[in-house]
Structures are given as structure tokens and as C-alpha cells.
Chains A and B, each alone.
Chain A
Amino acid sequence: QVQLVESGGGVVQPGRSLRLSCAASGFTFSNYGMHWVRQAPGKGLEWVAVIWFDGSDKYYGDSVKGRFTISRDTSKNTLYLQMNSLRAEDTAVYYCARAQYSGRYFGGFDIWGQGTMVTVSS
């Protein structure tokens, strides 16, 4: 079945780096744009980043621009989020999510992973 599984979360000190992974299965990964969305404890959802289906474009939310990098490896059906210069306010559950339709789709995301927790603390 269509599935996304995140990994790589954990506890990290402020200023350090962490890389999250999202393994996709059950669909043609290379056809879909992919997003990262996060949720701080007790807070709402925050869109983080998108990478187009072909990797040609990447966009970021203001709060992570310049610090986070989204990428994808089609050969491994895996999405990544490289997070540098981490701050306490980056503490959140990080979800990967698939664009609802293939190609360059501007709508919402239909398939979500279960999330991976990132805690930034000294």
C-alpha cells in the first residue's frame, strides 16, 4: 500500500545538524512532489519545504530558509531534510507528505507519514 515512513529524529544540541529521511513505497515516487510539515508540541501544523517531482525546484518556509535543505533520491525512493544550525524552536514532530497529484501540483498533500520527533535541547 501507499506508505511514507520517516526516520532520523532524535535529541540534538542547539547549533548542531540532523538529517531526516522519508522512505516512500507503493507509488511511483519520481512522479510526485514531496513536502515536509512540522508540528511543535501542542501547536499547529507548519509547512516547511517542498521539492518538485523532478527535483527541479525547492521552496522553504521563512523560518527554515537558509538552514534546511530538502532533497530526494529517486533510486532509493527516499526524501530527505537536512537541518543545520538547529534552534530550540525547531523542536517538533516532522512529517513528510506526498502531493495529492503527480506532476507540478499546487494543491494539498494526501499521504502522510507517521512523523519523527526532533528535540533541540542542550
Chain B
Amino acid sequence: QTVVTQEPSFSVSPGGTVTLTCGLNSGSVSTAYYPTWYRQTPGQAPRILVYSTNTRSSGVPDRFSGSILGDKAALTITGAQADDECDYYCVLYMGGGIWVFGGGTKLTVL
């Protein structure tokens, strides 16, 4: 069974830089998985940040960037702000019409 892995939690200082990752329990993530990143605040629907590995969605500040780092997809946030504190999810296309979400990363800004 394919499992998409994310750090359960991460902490960053205001103004700092943090890189969240999205991996596989077996194998490497590549652009062929169309990595997509979302942020979600409590009680709200997810909001897309980055799609197809590294393309920012409309209106998303350039503090957010996506990439492949080693064998994982990555979301880097620079100049972290207080309102970046929320949950971040990645989703990968596994082929065969199947998508799988990672377990999410709870980001704390302090």
C-alpha cells in the first residue's frame, strides 16, 4: 500500500524559512506525480498553493515555492508570517486514476 509521507509537525521562527516535504514509503517522488500543495485553517476548505511541482496558484505570494528535493517533493516558505501557521497537505497522482494525500504537516510559527 502506497503511503505519502509528510512531517507531522514543524516549527519556524517569524521571518524564517522552512521546507516541508512530501515523500513515498517506497520510491521517489518526481514531477510525474504532479505534486500539489494545499494549506488549510481550522473549519475551512483547503486552498491550493502550488501545483505541478512548482507552479504557484493565482494570488499565492512568491514566498511559497515548490520543488523536487532529492526523492521528495518540497514546499519552501520564506519570510514566514504568523498567518502561515496552519496545516499543509500534499497530494500525489499515483497513476491508474488514483490520488493519495499525505498525512499533513502542522506548521507553527513562533
Residues of chain A touching chain B, judged by Cβ–Cβ distance below 8 Å, are 35, 37, 44-47, 50, 57-59, 61-62, 95, 100, 106-110, 112-115
Contact = CB atoms under 8 A, between A and B. Distances in A.
Interface of B: 1, 34, 36, 38, 40, 45-48, 51-52, 57, 87, 89, 91, 93, 96-104
Given A45-B104, A47-B101, A107 B45 contact: no
A110 B98 contact: no
Contacts, number: 62
Q: Which 5 A-B pairs have the closest CB atoms?
A: A108-B36, A59-B97, A107-B34, A112-B45, A44-B104
Contact of B89 (A45, A61, A110): A45
A57 B40 CA distance: 29
Contacts of B98: 47, 59, 61
Contacts of A59: 96-98
